[in-house]
Structure 1
Amino acid sequence: MTRLADLRKSYERAELSEDASHADPLQQFAQWLGEAIAAQVPEPNAMTLATVDSSLRPSTRVVLIKGCDEQGITWFTNHDSRKGRELAANPWAALQFHWVELERVVRIEGRVDKVSDAESDAYFASRPLDSRIGAWASPQSQVIASRAVLVANAARYGARFLLHPPRPPHWGGYRLHPDCWEFWQGRKSRLHDRLRYRLGSDRQWIRERLAP
């Protein structure tokens, strides 16, 4: 059996320089996300969301990005879930994308708020029918007796709403407004490239290199 301490990988695919990167982190992210999609890496839209509860206990989970623009990074979920409760108690969070095949990581930090009801309604209506029923069927993050509870709930709500389930009142979108971005590119000899963008007092982005 291979010892975990003996696992090694040499990162040699690409580099990240100040001259070749965008001055605006949103443009840099859009470029990297586009390259991850073009490279057909598994689930390039998957991101780890880190939140902290009122007792300062952190937790993470993987969610899917559903929007990215000047307003921020958007995803949708159950407001009554653990992450929803934690964001209600502490609206600061961090996101991380890890595109292993490209040897790249993007970290994003900022304040989170809920998107408008209209935006949540529009996205919910675009989801497949089984996903819309699932949003009603799953009491997310709550203890349940067995999977049979979910199956029964799905059947009950399917029969109730048929082809037109409305958006549940406990389900909707969140948007993180970045004030810090970090782009990490793996490099040989562990001399990785790390560029951080932080929002200055004048609301302009400051780009700086961090030691790996």
Structure 2
Amino acid sequence: MERDRSAIAQTDPFALFEEWFQQARESEPNDPNAMALATATPEGAPSVRMVLLKDRSPDGFTFYTNAQSRKGEEIRANMQAALLFHWKSLRRQIRIEGPLSEVSAEEADAYFHSRPRDSQIGSAASDQSRPLPDRQTYLDRIEELARLYPEGDVPRPAHWTGFRLRPRRIEFWLDRPNRLHDRRLFQRVDPHADWADTLLYP
């Protein structure tokens, strides 16, 4: 790697994301698809948590959640978000920002029913982010659903859905010696326009 030039290619950012993501799948010990999802409260305060990327394409980056959870309510109130992938094994990170859209019911059904049966039951039984009097209450709900649906898929709750972030900004960050890090920002306002890119000071 030459010190006097960027190691982050000027290329299609989705192709570059895919290259880095595949390398992370080979090097990260757990969940290379884990990403921080940042939203905002109704008062404008930041709110962040880890979620899992479940699909990616030039259309955007997709994750699934309970829309009645805190994150779901924040998303529905303000359909914008930011994502952060940090792959410690590679000493790289990617920041992604843009508007959100909800996936179709068909997409949500397909993903929900691709999950292990126990995960379907666990999600259907959960009032995510709501106060829980004791853990046994949740376990009792799980047991009741398992009895109600002894085999096959569990119906997807209407409030369990997915969201897709269509990026307007994608920033790639690469660790380099002496904290002379490498950063390249890709951005576009119009989703049909070409990406513009620039290096950033570390």
| TM-based fold match above 0.5 | yes
> TM-score, normalized by length of structure 2?
0.93
**Mapped pair 1:204 → 2:194:** yes
Alignment of 1:162-181 (within 5 A): 162-163=150-151, 164-181=153-170
Task: For CA contacts below 8 A with separation 6 or more, give which structure has more relative contact order.
Answer: 1
Deviations 1:3-58 (A, max 9, x none): xxxxxxxxxx9989657514211011000000111224421110000000221011
Query: Structure 1, unaligned stretches of length 5 or more?
Result: 1-12
Percent identity for Structure 1 against Structure 2: 41
- Partner residue in 1 for 2:146: 158
Distance 2:13 2:5 in 1: 13
> TM-score, normalized by length of structure 1?
0.89
Q: 1:69 to 1:160 in 2, by over 3 A?
A: same
Distance 2:45 2:141 in 1: 31
Distance 2:4 2:164 in 1: 27
- Helix, strand or coil: the match of 1:113? strand
Q: Is the 8 A contact 2:36 2:50 kept in 1?
A: yes
Distance 2:112 2:4 in 1: 37
Q: Is the 8 A contact 2:63 2:163 kept in 1?
A: yes
CA drift at 1:200: 4.7
Q: 1:16 to 1:79 in 2, by over 3 A?
A: farther
Q: Is the 8 A contact 1:15 1:185 kept in 2?
A: no
1:29 pairs with one of 9, 13, 17: 17
Q: Aligned pairs, how many?
A: 200
Q: Is the 8 A contact 1:48 1:62 kept in 2?
A: yes
CA drift at 1:172: 1.1
Deviations 1:131-185 (A, max 9, x none): 0001111100001111111101101111112223111111011100000000000
1:190 pairs with one of 179, 189, 198: 179
**Mapped pair 1:39 → 2:35:** no
